[in-house]
Amino acid sequence: MRAILNVWGCAGMRKTQNLSTPTRPYFHTPILSLLFLIVVTLFFVPVQAEAEIDSIRSITDTRLQMPTWDQLIRVLTLRDYNTRVVVLGTLFLGSASGVIGTFMFLRKRALVGDAASHAALPGIGLAFIVMASVGGDGKYLPGLLLGAFISGLIGMGFILLIRHFTRLKEDAALGIVLSVFFGLGISILGVIQKMNIGHAAGLESFIYGKTASMLAQDAYLMGGAALVVTLLCGLLFKEFSLLCFDQDFACSQGWPVLFLDTLIMALVVAVTVMGLQAVGLILMVALLIIPPAAARFWTHHLYKMIFISAAIGSASGLLGAALSALVPRLPAGAIIVLITSSIFLMSLVFGPARGVLSRSIEQWTLNRKVASQHLLRAMYEWAEIHKNTQKSDDPLKGMTIRDLFGVRSWSHKQLKRILLRAQRQGMIYRGGDRTYHFTENGEWQSKRVVRNHRLWELYLVTHADIAPSHVDRDADQIEHVLERSMVDKLEKLLLSEHPNIGVIPPSPHDIGSKGLKQRSRK
Amino acid sequence: MTLMSLDIWIVTTGVLSALSCALLGNFLVLRRMSMMGDAISHAVLPGLAVAFLITSSRSNMPMFIGAGVVGVLTALFTQWIHRVGRVEQGAAMGVVFTTLFAIGLIIIVQAADAVDLDPGCVLYGAIELVPLDTAPFLGLHIPRAVWTLSLVFLVNVLLVILFYKELKISSFDEDLATTLGLNASCMHYLLMILVAITTVASFESVGSILVIAMFIVPGATAYLLTDRLHIMIGVSLVIGIMCAVGGHIAAVRLPAWWGLPDTSTAGMMAVVGGLLFFVALIASPRHGVASKLLHRFWLSVRITREDVLGILYRIEEFQPVRNHGVVPRILRDAKQTGPVIRWLALAQLMQAGKVKKASSGIQLTSKGRVHARNLIRTHRLWESYIEKHFVIPIDHLHAPAERLEHVTDPDMQKLLLEKTTNPQKDPHGKNIP
Amino acid sequence: MKASQAIGSEHSSTAPVSIHDMTVAYHRKPVLWDVDFDAPEGKLIGIIGPNGAGKSTMIKAVLDLIPKASGRVSIYGKPYKRQRRLVAYVPQRETVDWDFPVHALDVVTMGRYGQIGWCKPVTRAHKDQAMAALERVGMADYARRQISQLSGGQQQRVFLARALVQEAQIYFMDEPSSGVDAATEKAIITLLQDLRSSNKTVLVVHHDLQTVSDYFDYLILLNMRIVAAGSTRDVFTKENLHKTYGGRLTLLDEAAQAIAR
Is the pLDDT reported for residue B292 higher than 50?
A: yes
Residue at B237 is within a domain? no
Domain count, chain B: 2
A132 and A149 inside one domain: yes
Host domain of residue A515: 359-520
Is the pLDDT reported for residue B210 higher than 50?
A: yes
A139 and A188 inside one domain: yes
pLDDT grade, residue B408 (50/70/90)? Answer: confident
A305 and A398 inside one domain: no
A266 and A132 inside one domain: yes
Kind of pairing between the strands at C218-222 and C44-48: parallel
A462 and A485 inside one domain: yes
Nearest CA distance, A465 vs chain C (angstrom): 9
For chain B, list the contacting chains (3+ Cβ pairs, <8 Å): A, C
Q: CA-to-CA distance for B118 and B126, rounded, in angstroms?
A: 11
> The domain spanning residue A38 has which CATH number?
1.10.3470.10
Hey, are the CB atoms on A191 and B263 less than 8 Å from each other? Answer: yes
Residues of B in contact with C225 (CB under 8 A): 389-392
The partner residue sitting opposite A108, judged by closest CB among B88, B213, B266, is B88
A327 and A423 inside one domain: no
**Per the CATH hierarchy, to which homologous superfamily does domain C7-260 belong?**
P-loop containing nucleotide triphosphate hydrolases (3.40.50.300)
Q: CA-to-CA distance for A434 and C27, rounded, in angstroms?
A: 75
Q: CA-to-CA distance for B135 and B142, rounded, in angstroms?
A: 6
Residue at B225 is within a domain? no
Residue at B301 is within a domain? yes
**Which of B200, B219, B238 corresponds to the end of one domain?**
B219
- How high is the pLDDT of residue A18? 38
CB C238 within 8 A of CB C224: no
Residue at A8 is within a domain? no
Is the pLDDT reported for residue B4 higher than 80?
A: no
Q: Which residue of B has its CA nearest to C240?
A: B389
- How high is the pLDDT of residue C7? 35
Beta bridge mates, C103? C146
Any B CB within 8 A of C3 CB = yes
- How high is the pLDDT of residue A26? 46
Higher-pLDDT residue of B204, B65? B65
Q: Which of B234, B1, B293, B295 has the alpha carbon at shortest distance from B140?
A: B1
On the 0-12 / 13-18 / 19+ scale of CB atoms within 10 A, A506 is exposed
For chain C, list the contacting chains (3+ Cβ pairs, <8 Å): A, B
pLDDT grade, residue C46 (50/70/90)? Answer: very high
B156 and B302 inside one domain: no
Hey, are the CB atoms on A301 and C102 less than 8 Å from each other? Answer: yes
Mean pLDDT of B34-47: 87
Residue at B264 is within a domain? no
Hey, are the CB atoms on C117 and A11 less than 8 Å from each other? Answer: yes
**Which of B167, B193, B219 corresponds to the end of one domain?**
B219
Hey, are the CB atoms on C95 and A246 less than 8 Å from each other? Answer: yes
A332 and A367 inside one domain: no
Q: What is the 3-state secondary structure (H, E, C) of B211-254?
A: HHHHHHHHHHHHHHHCCCHHHHHHHHHHHHHHHHHHHHHHHHHH
Pick the most confident of A56-70, A216-230, B338-352, C188-202. Answer: C188-202
The partner residue sitting opposite C123, judged by closest CB among A4, A23, A236, is A23
The distance of Cα B93 from the centroid of its chain, to the nearest Å, equals: 24
Residue at B117 is within a domain? yes
User: DSSP of B314-333, one letter per residue?
Assistant: HHHHH-SS--GGGHHHHHHH
Rounded to the nearest integer, the mean pLDDT of chain B is 83
B28 and B166 inside one domain: yes
B195 and B337 inside one domain: no
Size (chain C), residues:
261
Nearest CA distance, B138 vs chain C (angstrom): 57
Side chain identity at residue C59, one-letter code:
I
The percentage of chain C sitting over the pLDDT mark of 90, rounded to a whole number, equals 38
For chain A, list the contacting chains (3+ Cβ pairs, <8 Å): B, C
Mean pLDDT of C162-182: 89
Hey, are the CB atoms on B267 and A176 less than 8 Å from each other? Answer: no
Q: What is the 3-state secondary structure (H, E, C) of chain C?
A: CHHHHCCCCCCCCCCCEEEEEEEEEECCEEEEEEEEEEECCCCEEEEECCCCCCHHHHHHHHCCCCCCCEEEEEECCEEHHHCHHHEEEECCHHHCCCCCCCEHHHHHHHHHHHHHCCCCCCCHHHHHHHHHHHHHCCCHHHCCCEHHHCCHHHHHHHHHHHHHCCCCCEEEEECCCCCCCHHHHHHHHHHHHHHHHCCCEEEEECCCHHHHHHHCCEEEEECCCEEEEEEHHHHCCHHHHHHHHCCCCHHHHHHHHHHHC
Three-state secondary-structure class, residue B142: strand
The partner residue sitting opposite A186, judged by closest CB among B95, B262, B264, is B264
φ, ψ at B96 (rounded to 5°): -70, -50
B70 and B198 inside one domain: yes
Residues of C in contact with B312 (CB under 8 A): none
Is the pLDDT reported for residue C160 higher than 60?
A: yes
**Which letter does DSSP use for residue A21 in this model?**
S
Hey, are the CB atoms on B335 and C225 less than 8 Å from each other? Answer: no
Residue at A298 is within a domain? yes
A84 and A99 inside one domain: yes
A316 and A408 inside one domain: no
**Which letter does DSSP use for residue B378 in this model?**
H
CB A329 within 8 A of CB B112: yes
- How high is the pLDDT of residue B431? 78
B14 and B135 inside one domain: yes
Side chain identity at residue B430, one-letter code:
K
Q: CA-to-CA distance for B11 and B241, rounded, in angstroms?
A: 9
- How high is the pLDDT of residue A75? 67
- How high is the pLDDT of residue A513? 44
From the candidates B29, B97, B103, B105, which should be mutated to test the interface with A, based on the most A CB atoms within 10 A? Answer: B105
CB A306 within 8 A of CB A30: yes
Size (chain A), residues:
522
- How high is the pLDDT of residue A502? 64
Would you say the ipTM is above 0.95? no
A83 and A189 inside one domain: yes
Is the pLDDT reported for residue B384 higher than 60?
A: yes
Kind of pairing between the strands at C70-75 and C17-26: antiparallel
Hey, are the CB atoms on C34 and B390 less than 8 Å from each other? Answer: yes
Q: What is the 3-state secondary structure (H, E, C) of B16-83?
A: HHHHHHHHHHHHHHHCCCHHHHHHHHHHHHHHHHHHHHHHCCCCHHHHHHHHHHHHHHHHHHHHHHHH
Hey, are the CB atoms on A207 and B123 less than 8 Å from each other? Answer: yes
Q: CA-to-CA distance for A93 and A102, rounded, in angstroms?
A: 14
Residue at A20 is within a domain? no
Q: CA-to-CA distance for B218 and B233, rounded, in angstroms?
A: 9
Any B CB within 8 A of C70 CB = yes
Any A CB within 8 A of C101 CB = yes
Domain count, chain A: 2
Burial pattern B349-366, b for ≥16 Cβ within 10 A else e, equals: beeeebbeeeeebbbbbe
Residue at A314 is within a domain? yes
Q: CA-to-CA distance for B351 and A506, rounded, in angstroms?
A: 91
Burial pattern A176-190, b for ≥16 Cβ within 10 A else e, equals: bbbbbbbbbbbbbbb
A513 and A371 inside one domain: yes
Residue at A54 is within a domain? no
Inter-residue long-range contacts of C66-71, CB under 8 Å, 24+ positions, other chains counted: C66/C24, C66/C26, C67/C24, C68/C22, C68/C23, C68/C24, C69/C23, C69/C24, C69/C25, C69/C28, C69/C30, C70/B399, C70/C21, C70/C22, C70/C23, C71/C19, C71/C20, C71/C21, C71/C22, C71/C23, C71/C34, C71/C35
From the candidates C146, C234, C237, C251, which should be mutated to test the interface with B, based on the most B CB atoms within 10 A? Answer: C251
φ, ψ at B77 (rounded to 5°): -60, -45
- How high is the pLDDT of residue C105? 93
- How high is the pLDDT of residue A389? 64
Hey, are the CB atoms on B35 and A329 less than 8 Å from each other? Answer: no
* Conformation bin of residue C47: beta by default, left when phi > 0, alpha when psi is -120 to 50: beta
B67 and B186 inside one domain: yes
Is the pLDDT reported for residue C66 higher than 80?
A: yes
Hey, are the CB atoms on C8 and B398 less than 8 Å from each other? Answer: yes
Nearest CA distance, A260 vs chain C (angstrom): 11
Side chain identity at residue A232, one-letter code:
L
Residues of B in contact with C13 (CB under 8 A): none
Q: Which of C145, C129, C136, C130 has the alpha carbon at shortest distance from C187?
A: C136
Hey, are the CB atoms on B408 and C258 less than 8 Å from each other? Answer: yes
Nearest CA distance, C36 vs chain B (angstrom): 6
User: Mean pLDDT in runs of 10 for chain A (522 residues)?
Assistant: 35 37 49 77 62 40 57 69 81 91 92 89 89 78 88 92 87 92 88 69 69 77 87 91 92 90 91 81 86 93 92 90 80 88 94 88 86 84 72 62 76 84 83 79 83 77 66 64 70 72 67 46 38
From the candidates A179, A181, A203, which should be mutated to test the interface with B, based on the most B CB atoms within 10 A? Answer: A179
- How high is the pLDDT of residue B425? 80
The distance of Cα B45 from the centroid of its chain, to the nearest Å, equals: 30
Residue at A11 is within a domain? no
Host domain of residue B172: 3-219
The partner residue sitting opposite B314, judged by closest CB among C2, C37, C70, is C2
- How high is the pLDDT of residue A10? 36
Mean pLDDT of B19-27: 93
- Chain C segment 167-186 residues within 8 A of A by beta carbon are 181-183
Nearest CA distance, C123 vs chain A (angstrom): 6
- How high is the pLDDT of residue A397? 65
- How high is the pLDDT of residue A481? 65
Side chain identity at residue B8, one-letter code:
I
Query: How big is the CA angle at A309 (ends A304 and A314), to the nearest 5 degrees?
Result: 130
A349 and A373 inside one domain: no
Residue at B424 is within a domain? no
Q: CA-to-CA distance for C123 and C134, rounded, in angstroms?
A: 17
CB A102 within 8 A of CB A309: yes
CB A191 within 8 A of CB A133: no
B342 and B212 inside one domain: no
B300 and B215 inside one domain: no
Nearest CA distance, B397 vs chain C (angstrom): 9
Q: Which residue of B has its CA nearest to C19?
A: B392
Q: CA-to-CA distance for B17 and B204, rounded, in angstroms?
A: 10
Helix (H) or strand (E) holding A437: strand A436-438
> The domain spanning residue B377 has which CATH number?
1.10.10.10
B185 and B319 inside one domain: no
Mean pLDDT of B269-280: 93
